Amino acid sequence: MTATRSAARLSGAGIAAAALSFTAFAAGAQEINVYSSRHYDTDQALYDTFTEQTGIAINLIEGSGDELIERLVAEGANSPADVLITVDAGRLWRADNAGLFQPVDSDVLEERVPEYLRHPDGHWFGLSKRARVIVYNVADGTPEGLDTYEDLADPAYEGLVCTRSSSNIYSQSLLGSIISAHGEEAAEEWTAGLVANLARPPEGNDTAQIEAVAAGECPVAIVNTYYVGRLLASDDPERVAIGEQIGIVFPNQDDRGTHVNISGAGVLANAPNAEGAVAFLEYLASDSAQTLFAEGNNEYPVVESVAVSGPIAGFGDFVEDSLGLDVIGEIGANNPTAVQIADRAGWE
């Protein structure tokens, strides 16, 4: 089953008023069921605005990405879900590999979402981006000679690096990108070097890594940009102070670019309301929704005409590793290998 192409192709001022094309669905489609692994308060504003503009109600089911994928597989053809929203290319690949998505043919999405941020057959579309960066304590200065992910495995950084567990999808996708860039043998060597350089056993989320850097527990760590932005945007002065102690290195700016992971969504193969689901994805690619992703959760918009805003705008421009997303299927397919490499290297 293929989701219907929406009637209007939007450009210029029409794109800014993208909600006008959604109303065509409202009369015959009054609700959609969204399974989402995003747990951010600002996302509710996205759902509420979509309903206000279209009359299509959203029934939201939340869970972790892996839990929702398992649930959808178990529900099969009887699933009530119309849309899956999840975080990271690895999980989008897992869902697609399980046959959960259907192809979407939408002029709006093809025009708004860059080709390298969407599935070639329209199975999923990127909605927002996070860069996987190296952070350091500004009081210590920029780490000398630390310009790439590869440098993290240099013996010069023995006992200096913090990162989260290899069981986390962010770690797996980063390692998957290393495999794509250099091959399995080199990736295995890099992982062994990274583990040898760890300041402590992996623990906690990205915020915990930032806090460890700010506290002097480890000089450098691997994190997503939006975690730093969230600290800087906090109403708590103590959280802001932690964020202000952190400097950012965008790795590999002189070669392939910085690894970027995405939050994305697709219309499910057994969606009861595929047209409403397509309308929702088109809305999420509108200027207003993209701005809310940026301002509300310190993420980078995927639509190139929408400006980066909030604290992350202060991080500056950077070159993305578009290769990694061009071969997203390859990175996803690398996931089992990445897990095996991490296990052999003792990356907990």
Phi, psi of 269 (to 5 degrees): -60, -35
Backbone φ/ψ region at 159: left (φ over 0), alpha (ψ -120 to 50), beta: left
pLDDT for 24 equals 42
pLDDT for 319 equals 95
Q: How far apart are CA 14 and CA 9, in angstroms?
A: 9
75 Cα distance to chain centroid? 25
Based on the fold, state whether residues 117 and 134 are members of the same structural domain: no
Based on the fold, state whether residues 229 and 324 are members of the same structural domain: yes
Residue 7 placed within a domain: no
Is 158 in a helix, a strand, or coil? coil
Answer whether 328's CB lies under 8 Å from 129's CB: no
Q: How many CA atoms lie within 13 A of 127 on its CB side?
A: 26
Residue 152 placed within a domain: yes
Q: Which residue segment(s) compose the domain that 301 sits in? A: 13-129+261-308
Question: What ranges make up the beta strands (E) of the chain?
Answer: 31-36, 57-62, 83-87, 125-137, 161-162, 220-224, 246-249, 260-267, 300-301
Q: How many CA atoms lie within 13 A of 294 on its CB side?
A: 22
Based on the fold, state whether residues 82 and 228 are members of the same structural domain: no
Q: How many CA atoms lie within 13 A of 179 on its CB side?
A: 24
Based on the fold, state whether residues 163 and 293 are members of the same structural domain: no
CATH classification of the domain holding 298? 3.40.190.10
Q: How many domains does the chain have?
A: 2
**Cβ-based neighbours of 67, under 8 Å, separated by 6 or more:** 37
Answer whether 35's CB lies under 8 Å from 84's CB: yes
Residue 175 placed within a domain: yes
- What is the reported pTM? 0.89
Structure-derived torsion over alpha carbons of residues 282, 284, 286, 291, reported in degrees to the nearest 10 = -170
Based on the fold, state whether residues 69 and 184 are members of the same structural domain: no
Residue 182 placed within a domain: yes
pLDDT for 340 equals 97
Residue 5 placed within a domain: no
pLDDT for 329 equals 63
pLDDT for 323 equals 66
pLDDT for 22 equals 42
Based on the fold, state whether residues 164 and 190 are members of the same structural domain: yes
Based on the fold, state whether residues 243 and 138 are members of the same structural domain: yes
Based on the fold, state whether residues 77 and 153 are members of the same structural domain: no
Based on the fold, state whether residues 321 and 209 are members of the same structural domain: yes
Based on the fold, state whether residues 341 and 237 are members of the same structural domain: yes
Q: How far is CA 224 from CA 3, 188, 301, 310, in A?
A: 33, 23, 15, 15
pLDDT for 186 equals 98
Based on the fold, state whether residues 124 and 213 are members of the same structural domain: no
Residue 51 placed within a domain: yes
- Per-residue model confidence as pLDDT tens for the chain (348 residues): 444 333 333 333 333 333 334 434 444 548 999 999 998 888 999 999 999 999 999 999 999 999 999 999 999 999 999 999 999 888 999 999 999 999 999 999 999 999 888 999 999 999 999 999 999 999 999 999 999 999 999 999 999 999 999 999 999 999 999 999 999 999 999 999 999 999 999 999 999 999 999 999 999 999 999 999 999 999 999 999 999 999 999 999 999 999 998 899 999 999 999 999 999 999 999 999 999 988 889 999 999 999 999 999 999 999 998 765 555 667 777 888 999 999 999 999
85 Cα distance to chain centroid? 10
Answer whether 293's CB lies under 8 Å from 299's CB: yes
Based on the fold, state whether residues 81 and 19 are members of the same structural domain: yes
Residue 1 placed within a domain: no
Q: How far is CA 94 from CA 98, 118, 178, 320, in A?
A: 6, 15, 19, 23
pLDDT for 235 equals 96
Comparing CA positions, the residue from 42, 221, 44 lying closest to residue 149 is: 221
Residue 173 placed within a domain: yes
